[in-house]
A and B are shown apart, each in its own frame.
Chain A
Amino acid sequence: MDRNRAIAAAIVIIVVSSGIIVAAWTTLSRPDVRIGYLEKDLHQLAFRVALVNGWFAEEGITVELKSYGNGALEMDAFLGDEIDMGYLGAAPALTKRVNQDIMVTILAAANLEGSAIMVRKADFDGGSITQIANLTGKSVFIPGPSTVQAFLLRLALNQSGLSSSDVTTLSTSPANMANSLSEAEPAFVAWEPFNARAEYDDLAVPLVLSGEIWPRHPCCVVASSNSFLAAHPDIAQTVIDIHVRAEEWIVSNPTAAIQIAAEWLEMEDAISAVETAFNRIIYDYNVNRTGIEMYLSYLIDQDILLPHKVPVDVEAFLDSFINTTFVEST
């Protein structure tokens, strides 16, 4: 019995001391800011440029990077206090800010446009699908019902005199879309570089670019958790300063930016595809507030927002959700 008690006591001591060591280590090794981003998303090139050029170190802030599979998961990371700031889509930021009360604020845009409705090359070349109206009765892949891409598809259908019920939407990851195309499911809507890659691989061609559907539509943004913003506005300002510098650098140095993008995306074998994708994206740090308001209306109209969570005063909500003073202070 004494032996058993000794073993039990030893186990308790090991578990408790391990917990203390982990907690102490976590506290001691905490960086100035933990930034989330989406892995290999060309829309978030500014972040990669800042990293490659060493601008975070140059500004004297330590950064911990955390990559996520999609914006919704990144929002969950905000909820779990895994990250302080993040590059992610305006769509998941808005949807989960409303539905889950995940308190984040958009501080800057990362890009505008940069998506497209793509159609199977065989169907386009054969002349069976050369315009949006030809998609009637077909299935179209979307990244999810609450994404900007789903909204773009609906806008495109409406602009062609169709409604969303004229096509069937199937949700999947953009990485799977090009390889999933078939006669019954001949189209997809995704962001870059998936579209340019599919075009480069001769699997699909753009039916319509997102800028043609909705000029300067919002896409990825830089957001911060409200608690971090309140506690460390100086660090948030530094991150936004670096972001603005990176955005301007991309516009001024497109060749070098494409090279960084190609290495990051592991598409050095398809540099022309990276260039194509790059040229379809507007790198601009100014937030398109009207666009976000339009998207909010879509979410409400589609019953994607929980009824009791829908903002009563949309303008007041957007005032609290978007803060452009950091960009203006740069």
Chain B
Amino acid sequence: MMSSPEQNAENAAVEKSRPHELPWFLESNIIRWALAGLILVLLWVIIAFFSRSTIIEVLEAFIILSTEGDSGGFVLADHAAQSLFIVTVGFCVAVATAVPLGIAMGRYSIADSVFGPVVEATRPIPPIAWIPLSLLIFTSLLSAQVFIIWIGAFFPILINTTTGVKRTEPVHIDVAKTFGASESRILTSVVIPSAAPEMFAGMRIGFGIGWMCLVAAEMIGSNKGLGYLIWTMQQVGWTGAVIASMLVIGLIGFLVSYVLLMVEKRLLRWRQGVAV
């Protein structure tokens, strides 16, 4: 995109007025990393004080759980695989249901007026509050667990998709109509690509919330899973194992979020082109 010298000067003035200048000690990457490390250490000191645990105990628990497993004979990898399976299924179902509904609500006012109030009424209900009902609705425990993950992931994907679709530039749609594009062509060539960044952001947030619902979902009834592990290790008083399981949950959540971000960057390379 081309810009005039006046616009450049104006942009420079706006940039200058922003309070984004770093203090001198934060200019070095090494110091910034060290500061982040220091915050993590301080956080750990607080956790260690209140949980009466040491880093050695956590490491020991991690090694024992990874090699020997728990009293049920399942190692950490079994628990992680089970959790990933449940969350992935719940997340996929959430994408499959929230994206079409979000497109419909964003594009067609009739769908928005019908489903909008329902969504707004059910959205504030926390996933954990659905546990008793999920047991009555579903005959299998796995379905109930997937349902809890779905509840967590569904709404962020739906809201972001709806917002993304609504933000489609009307002029783009008008241009497509002028060239005689059908409604399905407008959807696939204009609306969905335009809403894709918001949809991807919703998916990342949705996966994160679905992953956060893991402990609640696995409390429904299981003998495997990272949430189950935290729950049972708390009961037996093995705090090192509780913290080790929490760290694994955090690490996997971070890695999945990172992968989704990379996929998003790869699929939406055109965004950078537009931005530049």
Q: Give residues in A with beta carbon < 8 Å to B.
A: 70, 72-73, 75-76, 79-80, 92, 95-96, 98-100, 102, 141, 144-147, 168-173, 175-176, 179-180, 182, 184-185, 302-304, 306
Q: Is the Cβ of B135 less than 8 Å from the Cβ of A180? A: yes
Q: Is the Cβ of B71 less than 8 Å from the Cβ of A185? A: no
Q: Is the Cβ of A171 less than 8 Å from the Cβ of B131? A: no
Rounded to whole angstroms, the CA-CA distance of A92 and B237 in the bound complex is 9
Q: Is the Cβ of A102 less than 8 Å from the Cβ of B71? A: no
Q: Is the Cβ of A306 less than 8 Å from the Cβ of B221? A: no
Asked, given contacts A145-B72, A179-B135, A182-B139, whether A304 binds B221 with beta carbons under 8 Å apart, the answer is: no
Query: Within the complex, which residue of A70, A75, A184 is in contact with B237, where a contact is CB–CB below 8 Å?
Result: A75
CB of B232 within 8 A of chain A?
yes
Q: Is the Cβ of A99 less than 8 Å from the Cβ of B238? A: yes
Rounded to whole angstroms, the CA-CA distance of A329 and B35 in the bound complex is 59
Q: Is the Cβ of B135 less than 8 Å from the Cβ of A176? A: yes
Q: Is the Cβ of A95 less than 8 Å from the Cβ of B220? A: no
Residues of A within 8 A of B235 (CB): 70, 72, 92, 95, 144-147
CB of B115 within 8 A of chain A?
no
Q: Whole-angstrom distance from the CB of A181 to the nearest CB of chain B?
A: 10
Q: Give residues in B with beta carbon < 8 Å to A.
A: 50, 52, 71-72, 131-132, 135-136, 139-141, 144, 219-223, 228, 231-232, 234-239
Q: Is the Cβ of A180 less than 8 Å from the Cβ of B237? A: no
Closest B residue to A150 using CB positions: B71
Residues of A within 8 A of B232 (CB): 144-146, 171
Q: Is the Cβ of B228 less than 8 Å from the Cβ of A171? A: yes
Q: Is the Cβ of B237 less than 8 Å from the Cβ of A100? A: yes
Rounded to whole angstroms, the CA-CA distance of A219 and B135 in the bound complex is 28
Asked, given contacts A72-B234, A95-B237, A182-B140, whether A171 binds B71 with beta carbons under 8 Å apart, the answer is: no
Rounded to whole angstroms, the CA-CA distance of A49 and B166 in the bound complex is 61
Rounded to whole angstroms, the CA-CA distance of A96 and B233 in the bound complex is 10
Rounded to whole angstroms, the CA-CA distance of A75 and B231 in the bound complex is 14
Q: Is the Cβ of A100 less than 8 Å from the Cβ of B222? A: no
Closest B residue to A91 using CB positions: B235
Residues of A within 8 A of B239 (CB): 100
Asked, given contacts A79-B52, A145-B71, A180-B135, whether A172 binds B237 with beta carbons under 8 Å apart, the answer is: no
Rounded to whole angstroms, the CA-CA distance of A167 and B169 in the bound complex is 60
* New A-B contacts (17) at CB < 8 Å, excluding given A100-B239, A169-B223: A72-B237, A75-B237, A96-B236, A98-B237, A99-B237, A146-B235, A171-B223, A171-B228, A171-B232, A172-B220, A176-B135, A176-B221, A180-B141, A180-B144, A185-B221, A303-B71, A306-B238
Q: Is the Cβ of A176 less than 8 Å from the Cβ of B132? A: yes
- Jot down 15 A-B pairs with beta carbons below 8 A, ordered by A: A72-B234, A100-B239, A145-B71, A146-B236, A171-B221, A171-B231, A172-B220, A173-B219, A176-B132, A176-B135, A176-B220, A179-B132, A180-B220, A182-B139, A185-B141
Residues of A within 8 A of B136 (CB): 179
Asked, given contacts A79-B52, A176-B132, whether A170 binds B141 with beta carbons under 8 Å apart, the answer is: yes
Residues of A within 8 A of B237 (CB): 72, 75, 95-96, 98-100, 102
Q: Is the Cβ of B223 less than 8 Å from the Cβ of A168? A: yes
Rounded to whole angstroms, the CA-CA distance of A230 and B104 in the bound complex is 68
Q: Of A146, A175, A185, which is in contact with the most chain B CB atoms at under 10 Å from its CB?
A: A146
Q: Whole-angstrom distance from the CB of A207 to the nearest CB of chain B?
A: 19
Residues of B within 8 A of A75 (CB): 237
Residues of B within 8 A of A182 (CB): 139-141
Closest A residue to B61 using CB positions: A306
Q: Whole-angstrom distance from the CB of A102 to the nearest CB of chain B?
A: 7
Q: Whole-angstrom distance from the CB of A289 to the nearest CB of chain B?
A: 21
Rounded to whole angstroms, the CA-CA distance of A66 and B220 in the bound complex is 25
Residues of B within 8 A of A170 (CB): 141, 221-223
Residues of A within 8 A of B228 (CB): 171
Q: Of B72, B222, B231, B237, which is in contact with the most chain A CB atoms at under 10 Å from its CB?
A: B237
Residues of B within 8 A of A180 (CB): 135, 141, 144, 220-221
Residues of B within 8 A of A72 (CB): 234-237
Closest B residue to A185 using CB positions: B141
Query: Within the complex, which residue of A169, A172, A185, A304 is in contact with B236, where a contact is CB–CB below 8 Å?
Result: A304
Q: Whole-angstrom distance from the CB of A93 to the nearest CB of chain B?
A: 10
Residues of B within 8 A of A173 (CB): 219
Residues of B within 8 A of A184 (CB): 140
Q: Whole-angstrom distance from the CB of A74 to the nearest CB of chain B?
A: 11
Q: Whole-angstrom distance from the CB of A39 to the nearest CB of chain B?
A: 16
Closest A residue to B240 using CB positions: A306
Rounded to whole angstroms, the CA-CA distance of A313 and B72 in the bound complex is 27
Closest A residue to B50 using CB positions: A80
Residues of B within 8 A of A70 (CB): 235
Q: Whole-angstrom distance from the CB of A226 to the nearest CB of chain B?
A: 16
